[in-house]
Amino acid sequence: MTIQDEFHFIDKIKQKNNRHTLLVEGIGDDAAVYQTKNDYLEIVCADTMVEGVHFLKDASSPKDIGFKAVAVNISDVAAMGGIPKYYLVTIAVPKSWSEEELVELYTGMDEIAEVYHMDLIGGDTVSTSDKLVITVTVIGEVKRNRQRLRRDARPGDIVFVTGTIGDSAAGLQILLGNLSVNDEKDRSFLVNRHKRPSPQVKAGQILSSINRVSLNDISDGLASELNELCEASCVKMVIEKDKIPLSDSIRSLNSNQLDEWILYGGEDFELVGTVSPSLFDQLQKQCNEEGICLTVIGHVEAGHSEVILLDDGNETKLHKSGFNHFK
């Protein structure tokens, strides 16, 4: 894209109206300016998606790609117990992407931004030779002392997850043509879980309403996220495989890859964490009232950092690494 194009383009993707009243200056000046609130901490995170690595242009529409690029960052804010507010987008654009496709990309981003009440407040546009690279930065807030950290798991806690696990990995296999699913409803459910994840901001809010919860979002796979919690908190976890919540759609596949998807698949963007057992019932009730499923999958013990999986009476150690694949 040329420089003249760039200004024309930015004009097209700019929001017509801002959603936040504390935003003083959005897109258009050298930098965005917004006011902060007392008693809140600012949260900021960024994630990059590279064409051919994190998405395939043939398999997902520009809208879906944009939606997901913002969703994965919202998920990180949710995992801190925060609320997302603003986002910035940097794109490195190759010749293979038309301006129309880029506008679609931003339409997908705005779709999810509208749901979570966020404003696009800036970014950068550069050209590149080969593949599209998109970096989204999200800014959010959390009430002071309500930030949810990985290092807060304690022996005696129970381990919980939100939602169902493994759907996104199964959806990816469908998209890649490695898996055929007869039932159209199951197929579209799983593909949608991959293309349009639902970051768990509401669950994060409920989980930040009490004193101590350790929390992480599931981007790289349950095994990896559990290990991260254990490492950060210097504790051991015991997970019961048959307690891990599965969707009816993934169950119906009867696949021998099920364990792979559940443990190492990733990109479900659900939350995983730990809490004192005495507080779990109350949290679960609050989640249920909001239509969120909170499920106990194991417990925390004192010991060196490791994750043990109980499966039919057998104990195995769960390692971080999963499988290499196009996500």
Among Mg ion, ligand ADP, none, what does residue 248 contact (CB within 5–8 Å per kind)?
Answer: none
Query: Residue 124 Cβ, how far from ligand ADP at the closest point, in Å?
Result: 5
According to CB under 6 A, which one of 82, 122, 221, 266 is a site residue for ligand ADP?
122
The b/e string for 312-326 (b: 16+ C-beta within 10 A; e otherwise) is eeeeeebebebeeee
Query: Residue 85 Cβ, how far from Mg ion at the closest point, in Å?
Result: 22
Among ligand ADP, Mg ion, none, what does residue 58 contact (CB within 5–8 Å per kind)?
Answer: none
Q: Using the minimum distance from each CB to ligand ADP, give the nearer residue, 97 or 264.
A: 97
Q: Using the minimum distance from each CB to ligand ADP, give the nearer residue, 29 or 130.
A: 29
Q: Which long-range contacts (CB under 8 A, 24 or more apart) does 8-15 make?
A: 9/99, 9/102, 9/103, 9/125, 10/125, 12/99, 12/103, 12/106, 13/102, 13/103, 13/106, 13/120, 14/120, 15/110, 15/119, 15/120
Helix, strand or coil, per DSSP, at residue 240:
strand
Among Mg ion, ligand ADP, none, what does residue 250 contact (CB within 5–8 Å per kind)?
Answer: none
Helix, strand or coil, per DSSP, at residue 210:
coil
Q: According to CB under 6 A, which residues from 4 to 23 bind ligand ADP? A: 10, 13
CA distances from 159 to 26, 226, 323 (A): 41, 9, 24
Q: According to CB under 6 A, which residues from 23 to 62 bind ligand ADP? A: 27-30
CA distances from 68 to 48, 135, 219, 230 (A): 11, 11, 12, 28
Q: According to CB under 5 A, which residues from 104 to 163 bind Mg ion? A: 124
Query: Residue 17 Cβ, how far from ligand ADP at the closest point, in Å?
Result: 16
User: Under the criterion CB under 5 A, does residue 29 sit at the interface with Mg ion?
Assistant: no
Q: Using the minimum distance from each CB to ligand ADP, give the nearer residue, 134 or 169.
A: 134
Q: Per CB under 6 A, which region of 116-124, 140-148, 178-186, 233-241 contacts ligand ADP?
A: 116-124
Q: Using the minimum distance from each CB to ligand ADP, give the nearer residue, 113 or 207.
A: 113
Helix, strand or coil, per DSSP, at residue 45:
strand
Q: Using the minimum distance from each CB to ligand ADP, give the nearer residue, 9 or 116.
A: 9
Q: Residue 84 and residue 217: Cα distance in Å, rounded?
A: 15
Task: Using CB under 5 A, list all residues that contact Mg ion.
Answer: 124
